[in-house]
Amino acid sequence: MDDDDLGGTKLGGGVMAIHAASSMQRKGEGGESRGADGEYAPYLLMEELLEKLKMMNYERKMPGSFNPLSHSYFAIASPNPAEQFYYFTSLCSWLMSLQRISWNAPSQMDDPSSAVSALYVQLQQMGAPCDFPPQKLRHGYGEHCCRVLKHLVDAIPIEFKPAVYNDDLEYEEAAVDEDAEAVGEDVADEVGAADVDEEEFYHGGGGGDGAGEQKKLTDSILDATVEPEEWRIELERVTPQLKLQVVSDPKEWRNRLVSTKTHQQTVAQLAPEIFQTLERLSDDMERTLQAVRKAEQKLNSLCQGEVAELQQKQDELQLKREEFNKHTEQINSLSNELASITEELDKIKEKLDERGNSMTDASPLLKVKSALSRLKTEAKQMDIRIGVVTHTLVAKKLKHDQHTKAEAAVPKNSHMKNESYLDDDLDD
């Protein structure tokens, strides 16, 4: 790399560093350097969520006809809120089904409030992060929706199967171009020259005993003993078969060497013009950078008071946001307490309803009335029986008194002779 390339690289790196420093300075002055829990948390969660959904192949496996998700679909509001909320609930239902949890997603005609309540209850049962009011999920976007989806995705294990590679043992042969004979001859000449260079390299140059033996062998070949006419006929016969066909293999090192030389010549021709263009661009960028620096210094000197005031406003805004976060936490805790009190109140209402139903039930009273009527009937029957028994006892008592008086009137020894007395005794 020459000095011009080094100068251009240093200039480009300096411009990038200056731009990065100025952007960081602006972020520091504007109070934009915050953590992932701030403004950019939904975008980071959505980015991670989308990557995991792609690994799960959600576009094919998720039931229903939905468009592919963008990198900020659930992080910001969509032009169609109903479709966004339906997409969110359908995705939650599909992720729950992968965990063998049955929760049917609501349709587009259902009430969003009831759907959000049912989803919130299901998330609480699953142990998902629910430290926020259920109405945060009604919009279908935001940090809370992304947190819920990320919790559902993290609970699903993702399996990666090992890659299978096919070994290509057979190689395709390059097609032979019969019209490229001239090119083949040039390549053959280069190949021959390369072979000669290799022979000279391995044999140590052109001198020595090896060169002498090679010369003797060549002289013996040149001394022909075949008749010229026979040689001409044989040459005419084999000439069509001696046609050179060179197979162009792009992986062969000689072809690569030739293409490298061609590219080197092209680069050498274009390099001066490109270097001039780069130098001109470097000078223009340097002048523009100096103008930007001067303008930045001038703006900094003119806007010092405004910058200080802006910094003060940013500090006040940060304090207000902290106070807002504290109040939000209090509201969340009170909302959770209200929800628990509401559940207890519902249970008490159910008990009161059950007791009211039992108090207004007239079936026990009817049973008492029927029992009283039966008791009265039985009492009447008992009174009748008591009267009958009393009458019978009184009649027997009267009869017994008459018999006693009759015995008193009869003499002592004559009662055995009285047949009527015996008959009465028998009747008794």
**Total number of residues shown for the chain:** 428
Q: What is the pLDDT of residue 391?
A: 93
In whole angstroms, what is the distance from residue 178 CA to residue 194 CA?
24
Place of tokens 């468009």: 67
Report pLDDT for 264: 92
Contact (CB, 8 A) for 87 and 78: no
Q: In the prediction, which pLDDT does 412 show?
A: 61
The predicted structure's pLDDT at residue 26: 43
* Tokens coding 313: 């406003």
**Plot region of 164 (φ>0 → left; ψ -120 to 50 → alpha; else → beta):** beta
425: left (phi over 0), alpha (psi -120 to 50) or beta: alpha
Which of 139, 141, 84 shows the shortest CA–CA distance to 113? 139
Place of tokens 């430290």: 131
For position 214, what pLDDT does the model report?
62
**pLDDT score at 202:** 43
Q: Look up residue 322 and give its two tokens.
A: 């902290």
Cβ proximity of 74 and 46 under 8 Å: yes
Residue type, 418: N
Q: 3-52, pLDDT tens digit by residue?
A: 444 444 433 444 343 343 344 444 444 444 444 455 778 888 888 888 88
CB 50 within 8 A of CB 146: no
Pair of tokens at residue 299: 């703006």
Q: Identify the three-state secondary structure at position 168.
A: coil
Name the amino acid, one letter, at 198. Answer: E
Res 31: pLDDT: 43
| Residue bearing tokens 């900020």 | 72
**How many C-beta atoms surround the C-beta of residue 136 within 10 A?**
17
Report residues of the chain scoring pLDDT below 50: 1-36, 168-208, 415, 421-422, 425-428
Dump pLDDT digits (tens) for 371-421. 999 999 999 999 999 999 999 999 999 988 888 888 888 766 554 555 554
